[in-house]
Amino acid sequence: MFHASPWRSDFPAIAALQHQQQTYLDSAATTQKPHALIDAIGQYYAQGAANVHRAQHLPGSLATRAFEASREKVAQWLNASSPEQIVFTHGATSALNLLAYGLAEQFQPGDELVISAAEHHANLLPWQQLAKRRGLSLRVLPLEASGVVDLQAAAQIIGPRTRVLAVSQLSNVFGAWQPLSPLLALARAQGAITVVDGAQGVVHGRHDVEHMQCDFYVFSSHKLYGPDGVGVLYGRREALQKLAHWQFGGEMVHQADYQSASFHPAPLGHEAGTPPIASVIGLGATLDYLSGLDAKAVAEHEAALHAQLLAGLRARSGVQLLGAPQVALASFVVEGVHNADLAHLLTDQGVAVRAGHHCAMPLMKHLGLSGAIRVSLGLYNDSGDLQRFFDALDKSLEILV
Amino acid sequence: MTMSPQAQEALKVFTQAAGWEQRARLLMQWGERLEPLGDEQKVEANRVYGCESVVWLVAERQGEHWHFKAASDARMIRGLLALLLVRVQGLESQALRELDLNAWFEQLGLGRQLSPSRSNGLNAVLKRMSELA
């Protein structure tokens, strides 16, 4: 059955890419952008750029208002109780680094940081390096074959020495939702700080950070059909108070002297330097656009396409799925075929998928794989995109096998 | 710059190839021509990073001339390595430095393989080669 996307024409790049004979199936890496965002950024630059939270003049006041309106929209999107709980960073990676530096003073040598084996490098390396700097120990939660964290093992590992639990909500390799509710409960019971990497999860469905009861939630705008260069850090009020200032300069300062200075609390105190103003405004426009969509229709479309993707992959002999994908994407390998060769031939045929280690090298080593191919879906994809992918896959395998 | 007979042959067959599919099949065939690498040469020091596949590159100096050997676990990159080696094999350092390898792959119709995104790693191989020679 052909599933058309009613939102496809809202994203001009999809038609432009099709003109170049490109089928875009790499939305888990970054997404194409809606007209609403492109217009908002164009308008901001065309009608008068200005720095935020600085000048008294009219352009400065308009830019600041638009910038702060985006903060409110993000707070609403996540159901945070106040926009003051939303810190803008330069990406999800920089938000996670802010946490790993800003929380460092909370820990003593011998304390434990816990992550899962499925983490993207962005939610592994900041904690790994923090552990090295402070003499902490990094514990890694093992996965079940499906790609989700083994909760029994987690209950053994998360203990009185656990100071931080940092896990992704949705794996960028397996497309599987992690059992956040029991995992976060285990960490809370130990008084540990909980960090959820929502880079993939935020794109699929609406998520309520109050209900999730995490201390921090992180996502990047560009995976959520927004501009690149912006990340979001949500923090519970008490949790944000634990976060020390990390980067200095710009309007994060309250009073400054040559020898000492004091700084603003969150969110401004964590937004050193000129923020990515146009991108933050663009993210606000994207959220307006997304809020206007029929969420149920989007979820049904994504589920139908994902089912089609899985069925097609399972129907082909030699194809092995990684884990048990639930949404958005599927990673696979083909027996006897190097993923780099397959990627080469898919690229030759204009199919844009991701090949390699997916920024999760330790995970790939653990799975005994040199890499895998990942097909990931956005709300603009349709069955035609999948058909072109499957045709290209068959043709590639005909040549390689 | 003078080209070896093998390089001339490569140029002929690749410029005559009709479309991606034939080029892919040719690449696989040319990959089979690579001189095999001994296990003792498949060591960390000879590993080229920046590729999605495992690539080794060995440079040996025979008098004034360079002799290269290369291997990979992926077939398409083996083909690209073979096309690289037929162009550089036996050159002197000066000639190697002056050679425009980007232009060589463009001539073969394989310019896309040198895209700055590091997915296939041919760029990494070229960089390593220039460091070695």
* pLDDT tens column, A340-349: 999 999 999 9
Q: How many CA atoms lie within 13 A of A265 on its CB side?
A: 9
CB A185 within 8 A of CB A342: no
Residue B109 touches chain A, beta carbons under 8 Å: no
> CA A29, CA B117: separation in Å to the nearest integer?
14
Nearest to A343 by CA among A334, A354, A332: A354
CB contact under 8 A, A343 and B119: yes
> CA A21, CA A304: separation in Å to the nearest integer?
24
Q: What local confidence, expressed as pLDDT, does residue B118 receive?
A: 54
CB contact under 8 A, B53 and A340: yes
Nearest to A173 by CA among A216, A120, A224: A120
Q: How far is B62 from chain A (nearest CA, A)?
A: 33
Q: For B107, which DSSP code?
A: H
Please give the ipTM for the structure prediction.
Answer: 0.92
Here the tokens at position B86 are 């037929």
Measured between beta carbons, which residues in chain B are less than 8 angstroms from residue A357? 52
CB contact under 8 A, B75 and A370: no
**Calculated CA dihedral for residues A61, A66, A70, A71, nearest 10 degrees:** 10
Residue B24 touches chain A, beta carbons under 8 Å: yes
Angle, nearest 10°, between helix axes B19-31 and A339-348?
Answer: 150
CB contact under 8 A, B74 and A395: no
CB B43 within 8 A of CB B34: no
Catalytic positions of B are 51
Q: What local confidence, expressed as pLDDT, does residue A383 receive?
A: 98
> CA A351, CA A336: separation in Å to the nearest integer?
21
Q: How far is B64 from chain A (nearest CA, A)?
A: 36
Q: Give the A window 143-172 contacts with B, CB below 8 Å.
A: none
Measured between beta carbons, which residues in chain A are less than 8 angstroms from residue B20? 345, 348-349
What is the tens place of the pLDDT at every residue in A14-71?
A: 999 999 999 999 999 999 999 999 999 999 999 999 999 888 899 999 999 999 999 9
Provide, rounded to the nearest whole percent, the portion of chain A with pLDDT above 90. Answer: 94
Cα B32 to chain centroid, rounded = 13
- Paired strand residues for B92: B65
Q: How far is A348 from chain B (nearest CA, A)?
A: 6
Nearest to B121 by CA among B27, B51, B49: B51
What is the tens place of the pLDDT at every residue in B61-118?
A: 888 899 999 999 999 999 999 999 999 999 888 888 888 988 999 999 998 887 766 5
Q: How far is A290 from chain B (nearest CA, A)?
A: 31
Nearest to A341 among B25, B75, B119 (CB): B75
Cα B66 to chain centroid, rounded = 14
CB contact under 8 A, B28 and A340: no
CB B72 within 8 A of CB B85: no
Q: Classify A326 as helix, strand or coil.
A: coil
| Kind of pairing between the strands at A162-168 and A193-197 | parallel
How many residue pairs bridge chain A and chain B with CB atoms within 8 Å of each other? 50
Give whole-number Cα distances, A309 to A82, A305, A380, B130, in Å: 39, 6, 15, 43
CB B51 within 8 A of CB B73: no
Residue B29 touches chain A, beta carbons under 8 Å: no
Residue B120 banded pLDDT, cuts 50, 70, 90: low
Q: Which amino acid is at B126?
A: L
Q: Say if residue B1's pLDDT is above 70.
A: no
- Paired strand residues for A112: A137, A162
Q: Which residues contact A119 (CB under 8 A, 6 or more apart)?
A: A166, A167, A168, A197, A360, A363
CB contact under 8 A, B25 and A341: no
Residue A349 touches chain B, beta carbons under 8 Å: yes
Residue A392 banded pLDDT, cuts 50, 70, 90: very high
H or E element in which residue A86 lies: strand A86-89
User: What's the mean per-residue pLDDT of chain A?
Assistant: 96
CB contact under 8 A, A348 and B24: yes
Q: Say if residue B132's pLDDT is above 90.
A: no
Q: How many residues does chain A have?
A: 401
Closest-CA residue of chain A to B54: A370
Q: Which residues contact A1 (CB under 8 A, 6 or more apart)?
A: A304, A383
> CA A228, CA A315: separation in Å to the nearest integer?
36
- Secondary structure tally for chain A: helices H, strands E: 14, 15
Q: For B116, which DSSP code?
A: S
Give whole-number Cα distances, A113 to A82, A107, A110, B103, in Å: 28, 9, 10, 51
Residue A341 touches chain B, beta carbons under 8 Å: yes
Cα A342 to chain centroid, rounded = 26
Q: Which residues contact A81 (CB under 8 A, 6 or more apart)?
A: A75, A210
User: What's the mean per-residue pLDDT of chain B?
Assistant: 89
What is the tens place of the pLDDT at every residue in A355-381?
A: 888 788 888 888 888 899 999 999 999
Measured between beta carbons, which residues in chain A are less than 8 angstroms from residue B51? 340
- What one-character-per-residue DSSP string does A22-53 give? -EE-BTTT-----HHHHHHHHHHHHH----SS
Nearest to A7 by CA among A289, A304, A308, A352: A289
What is the tens place of the pLDDT at every residue in B51-74?
A: 778 899 999 988 889 999 999 999
Provide, rounded to the nearest whole percent, the portion of chain A with pLDDT above 70. Answer: 100
CB contact under 8 A, A348 and B20: yes
Give whole-number Cα distances, A74 to A7, A70, A168, A215, A291, in Å: 22, 6, 19, 17, 11
> CA A306, CA A359: separation in Å to the nearest integer?
22
Q: Classify B38 as helix, strand or coil.
A: coil
Catalytic positions of A are 359
CB contact under 8 A, B119 and A349: no
Measured between beta carbons, which residues in chain A are less than 8 angstroms from residue B53? 338, 340, 370
Q: Classify B26 as helix, strand or coil.
A: helix
pTM for this entry:
0.94
